């Protein structure tokens, strides 16, 4: 059975993106193990010269490295991902490179109508950066809009069509992970490129 990290893309205590990942963990427990990982304790990125990560960031990096894939659920703040999520990704591309060739599924929940669509596009752009080089599942968006009304008291999604859509995308992700595992011939060079990349030397 695949083991995935569900990265909560916000430091908010009351997040419907956390609820979404909690639902996925429960709903897909017969297909994969999903461990939720919080980012609230990661300090502000400060580019230490020794490239030593704070313990909280290193722990996340280790979990991602050991996982078969990552599911990131992001809200949308000002047409972009939250600063707290970008901060963690900064740490996870500085001296460590757990996302290189790692299969990633992006989801998102928002209070409004668009369901974090612009934040998801922004996150794809970030994860495609030379220092991260994740393998992002293509042609897939799970956009949970009006998320404050999306869950019942037990934490289940109430819209059956949304559940059906999510089930299809999750099955696609399982297939994507299987295919990605076979696309490993350039992994060593991809990691070397990430390790040696520097905007300062361009």
The verdict on residue 124 lying in a domain is yes
Q: Which residues are paired to 112 by β-bridges? A: none
Residues 102-158 have pLDDT tens digits of: 999 999 998 877 778 999 999 999 999 999 999 999 988 898 988 989 899 999 999
199 or 140: which leads in pLDDT: 140
70 assigned to some structural domain: yes
Give the rounded percent of residues in the chain with a pLDDT score beyond 70. 96
Residue 202 forms part of a structural domain? no
Comparing CA positions, the residue from 151, 193, 131 lying closest to residue 16 is: 151
What is the Cα–Cα distance from 191 to 187, expressed in whole angstroms?
Answer: 6
How does pLDDT run across 42-55, given as a tens digit for each residue? 999 998 888 899 99
Q: Is pTM beyond 0.75 here?
A: yes
Query: What residues make up the domain containing 152?
Result: 2-196
Domain of 163, CATH number, reads 3.40.50.360
In this prediction, residue 152 carries a pLDDT of 95
- List pLDDT tens digits, range 144-187: 988 989 899 999 999 999 999 999 999 999 999 999 988 777 67
pLDDT reading at 5 higher than 70:
yes
Place of tokens 């990691």: 191
What's the pLDDT score for residue 195? Answer: 72
Q: What does the pLDDT read at residue 104?
A: 98
Distance CA 111, CA 15 (A): 10
Number of domains in the chain: 1
Query: Is residue 175 a part of any domain in this protein?
Result: yes
Kindly state whether residue 99 falls inside one of the protein's structural domains: yes
For residue 105, tell me if it sits in a domain.
Answer: yes
Question: Is residue 102 a part of any domain in this protein?
Answer: yes
In degrees rounded to 5, what are phi and psi of residue 94?
A: -125, 95
- CA-to-CA separations, 133 to 68, 71, 152, 187, in angstroms, rounded: 16, 15, 37, 10
- Whether 47 is in a domain gets the answer yes
- pLDDT tens per residue, range 38-94: 999 999 999 888 889 999 999 999 999 999 999 999 998 888 999 999 999 999 999
CA distance 124 to 141: 11
Averaged confidence pLDDT in the chain: 92
Residue with the two structure tokens 């999604």: 157
CA distance linking residue 42 with residue 55, whole number of Å: 8
Mean pLDDT to the nearest integer, 6-30 = 96
């Amino acid at each position: 059975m695949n083991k995935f990290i569900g990265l909560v893309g916000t430091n908010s205590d009351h997040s419907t993106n956390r609820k979404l990942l909690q639902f996925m963990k429960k709903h897909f427990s017969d297909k994969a193990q999903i461990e939720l990982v919080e980012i609230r304790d990661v300090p502000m990125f400060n580019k230490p010269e020794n490239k030593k990560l704070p313990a909280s960031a290193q722990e996340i990096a280790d979990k991602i490295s050991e996982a078969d894939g990552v599911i990131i659920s992001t809200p949308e703040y000002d047409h972009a991902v939250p600063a707290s999520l970008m901060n963690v990704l900064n740490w996870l591309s500085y001296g460590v490179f757990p996302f290189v060739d790692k299969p990633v599924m992006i989801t998102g929940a928002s209070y409004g109508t668009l369901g974090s669509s612009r934040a998801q596009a922004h996150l794809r752009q970030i994860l495609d950066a030379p220092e991260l080089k994740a393998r992002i599942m293509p042609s897939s968006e799970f956009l949970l809009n009006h998320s404050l009304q999306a869950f019942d008291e037990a934490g289940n999604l109430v819209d059956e069509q949304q559940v059906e859509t999510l089930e299809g995308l999750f099955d696609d992700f399982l297939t994507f992970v299987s295919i990605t595992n076979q696309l490993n011939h350039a992994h060593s060079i991809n990691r070397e490129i990430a390790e040696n990349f520097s905007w300062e030397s361009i």
